Amino acid sequence: MNASTATVSTLTQSKPTGYVRQLAEAARATSHAIASLDSAQRVALLQAMADAVAAGSDDILKANATDMQRAADAGTTGAMLDRLKLDADRVAGIVTAIREVADLPDPVGQVTRSDVRPNGLQVDKVRIPLGLIAMIYEARPNVTADAAALCLRAGNAVLLRGGSEARDSNIAIAACLHRALRDQGLPAEAVSLVEDTAREHVLELLQLSDLIDLAIPRGGEKLIRFVAEHARVPVIKHYKGVCHLYVDRAADPVLALKLAIDGKLSRPGVCNALETMLVHADIAEQWLPGALAELSARGAEIRGCDRTRALFADAVPATEDDYDAEYLAPILAVRVVDDIDEAIAHIQRYTSDHTEVIASTDTAASDRFIREIRSSAVVVNASSRFNDGGALGLGAEIGISTTRLHAYGPMGLESLTIERYVVRGEGQVRHPDVAG
Amino acid sequence: MNASTATVSTLTQSKPTGYVRQLAEAARATSHAIASLDSAQRVALLQAMADAVAAGSDDILKANATDMQRAADAGTTGAMLDRLKLDADRVAGIVTAIREVADLPDPVGQVTRSDVRPNGLQVDKVRIPLGLIAMIYEARPNVTADAAALCLRAGNAVLLRGGSEARDSNIAIAACLHRALRDQGLPAEAVSLVEDTAREHVLELLQLSDLIDLAIPRGGEKLIRFVAEHARVPVIKHYKGVCHLYVDRAADPVLALKLAIDGKLSRPGVCNALETMLVHADIAEQWLPGALAELSARGAEIRGCDRTRALFADAVPATEDDYDAEYLAPILAVRVVDDIDEAIAHIQRYTSDHTEVIASTDTAASDRFIREIRSSAVVVNASSRFNDGGALGLGAEIGISTTRLHAYGPMGLESLTIERYVVRGEGQVRHPDVAG
């Protein structure tokens, strides 16, 4: 017996191979019907989905209680259990979120370019839906409704594979969405849920390049790496956010401290929180001791380079690993740099392509920072925490991409569409000598 | 010995494993320098590249003679040999093509959206280069210069892997490009050529997801499938063009015949040539016999459904395979359909997502065709042959994508960039209560 058969034999194989292909084929078969709906029909569908979730609240809470019990029995505690939990308020939040997506401007049909060629051809670039989108995610059951709402609003069908821990909640939410689809005279398979959460079915899903136009994994780095490693379908992902704040020699000291505190401490467990602060040597002596004392007093653990530690004795020595770390905790790596070149070189080396911030009143410095840093968001004199769909004006987001292809940064509705060409003529041919 | 070691042992292993990784690392290391050039510097670089190719013409022709001899010795003939061949005119064509790319509008730095948020944040979406692009292609040596010019014009470094048959020509062209880079004070590795064309090195290239932002295969369906099958890097591809012309009941009969002739016969060997014509039953009896006689007289072989054959006895019976075929030859599959629904259903089933044409004077019909067909180009009353970068106003193209992600249809300079966020503030924080 080799390694791969050993792996398969330890999985609960309650559904046969081909189970996900059948689901995906059924979902894909609906994609033309969904893509052909006009904006008002898609808005009506989302409102019906919101109504159905509100009406199904009791069933959803009952199912969630089953999930919570199973998780508690398995010894799950703390943040993980909290992410899984639904109550009346959280279900109401799901309903509101669907209605907010319904209210977003429609990207489908948007003409992004229009041109009349010298031969009279009218050439337009027009947004259309992608087709079938697969979402692969973990604990939070609200993603089931959020992802379905975003995909359908942009005219796509969706194949959902949530985590095993939220299985009953996801089935209950999907049942509401199916009711709404059927009430609108649409096929329920436009939202298809992979109910059997065995790992082998994720592997099968990731091979379906003839059916799935895009897969978006959302969850921990381990899940994302698993998806990236095994996918034959296109994947847009982000592994982690190692976000930097560079405090330039020309930084406003009060502003820089505000950005450090907000970036590190307002919500340390999210991907747009700061992990490393780089400080120009010319400002370090005067600014760093007070700034680190303040951060420390507010609960941050400081891990510093030698020059940082010479200015702030409480700092733990920083290692190479610290510059690579997404702490998801109130820990900040701090390094003093000789100049902006060294700051840019540090970021280019350790960046996760997520968010980098410069605090500087010197426009030449910030322009250079913008030019040489190619992360999904470069921020001048504001907090890294603004890199999300809501704060940047996209409305709801389906994820944040650090893949420098198709979408980069927060992915809103527009990222769930693609531009194609519509060409209108009056009999133009390429070779009039042939076809004349 | 298992299958995979058997495969490796039959390959000429003249370079050790890791050879392509070294090349890609060197190329990637230059990507920041190339991305930081302003538009005028990139234009100057391309002009220097054009000059260097012109100056190196003799060396390139000598190297090409070696490739041609090797190919002739191996028994290569006809179109394949013609694709490989360079002469003074073709080298001059390469020089002109580089200068044309230099003259294209610069996509880098373009602000595609600009918004001031309620909190005063200035949020811009700005185009930046992708980073390192890998091109994998076959016989034509001009692709070496074309691809390098397009990638560098858009601020990217490029890793080139041409076909073994054009190896000496590609090395000679790359040597010219390297001279130009060095003359401009830039690292030659910004254009890196995989000189050892052993297949195992392509496999290695396709695994380098930490170094390569995008791989674009260009060539026959076999090459594209090999790349798609083995890639861990993002790939944009098109397999084949099975382009349709639907002749609606409301078609202008003269116009429809012109589109059929131009689409099928002006250049049958290209991907935007027509393969299948669908004809509305209401117009078939009156239009089809004359149209097919004309196409036939001009050299087209007709393969028809039963209803087509009843109207045009010379037609060969069409099989299921004909509707899937990219003939690359003057052969046309013809099918009579009952209505536009049947035409749309046929296209949705057999489409390669490349180009579909409707001939109709009925706007309701063409609007419906546009709405329900999601190919990269939908064309109303004009020839399918217009789906390329030049004809649609993009200038040169690096390929035509039928991947419904990032770019769909002809890929010009813009497709070699990505939009990211630049956020400018005055000290805004996400949680003033925390950071105040």
Residues of A in contact with B228 (CB under 8 A): 209, 232
Closest CA to B377 of B403, B405, B408: B408
Both B351 and B215 in one domain: the answer is no
User: Dihedrals φ, ψ of B159, to 5°?
Assistant: -115, 120
User: Dihedrals φ, ψ of A64, to 5°?
Assistant: -65, -35
How many beta-carbon pairs below 8 A join chains A and B? Answer: 236
Both B220 and B85 in one domain: the answer is yes
Mean pLDDT of B410-434: 95
| C-beta atoms of A425 and B123 within 8 A | no
A382 touches chain B (CB under 8 A): yes
Whether pLDDT at B79 is above 90: no
User: Dihedrals φ, ψ of A65, to 5°?
Assistant: -60, -40
Both B174 and B68 in one domain: the answer is yes
Mutate to test the interface with A, among B374, B380, B387 (most CBs of A within 10 A): B374
How many structural domains does chain B have?
Answer: 2
- Structure confidence by residue, pLDDT tens digits, B225-250: 999 889 999 999 877 899 999 999 99
Both A217 and A179 in one domain: the answer is yes
A36 touches chain B (CB under 8 A): yes
Looking at the DSSP bridge assignments, the partners of residue A124 are A114, A422
Please give the span between the terminal C-alpha atoms of chain B, in angstroms, as a whole number: 68
Domain coverage including residue A373: 243-386
Both B380 and B272 in one domain: the answer is yes
What band does A96 get if pLDDT is binned at 50, 70 and 90?
Answer: very high
Both A195 and A331 in one domain: the answer is no
Closest CA to A376 of A384, A365, A367, A366: A384
Q: Which of residues 40 through 79 in chain B touch A, CB cutoff 8 A? A: none
Whether pLDDT at A70 is above 80: yes
Both B92 and B190 in one domain: the answer is yes
A112 touches chain B (CB under 8 A): no
Structural domain contains residue B83 = yes
CA dist list (Å): B364 to B246, B248, B361, B371: 15, 11, 9, 11
Q: How far is A157 from chain B (nearest CA, A)?
A: 14
Whether pLDDT at A175 is above 50: yes
B252 touches chain A (CB under 8 A): yes
Both A209 and A110 in one domain: the answer is yes
Whether pLDDT at A219 is above 90: no
| C-beta atoms of B405 and A406 within 8 A | yes
CA distance B261 to A435: 5
B351 touches chain A (CB under 8 A): no
**pLDDT value, residue A6:** 35
A8 touches chain B (CB under 8 A): no
- Mean of all residue pLDDT scores within chain A: 94
B353 touches chain A (CB under 8 A): no
Mean pLDDT of B385-413: 93
- Structure confidence by residue, pLDDT tens digits, B260-281: 999 999 999 899 999 999 999 9
Residues of A in contact with B428 (CB under 8 A): 381-383, 386
From A115, which residue of chain B is nearest by alpha-carbon distance?
A: B393
Structural domain contains residue A408 = no
B424 touches chain A (CB under 8 A): yes
Structural domain contains residue A39 = yes
Structure tokens at A61: 């809470």
Both B214 and B312 in one domain: the answer is no
Mutate to test the interface with B, among A235, A383, A394, A417 (most CBs of B within 10 A): A383
From B375, which residue of chain A is nearest by alpha-carbon distance?
A: A420
CA distance B140 to B431: 58
Structural domain contains residue A409 = no
Both A182 and A213 in one domain: the answer is yes
Range scoring the smallest mean pLDDT among A98-107, A169-178, A235-244, B258-267: A235-244
**pLDDT value, residue B3:** 36
What CATH number does the domain containing B175 carry?
Answer: 3.40.605.10
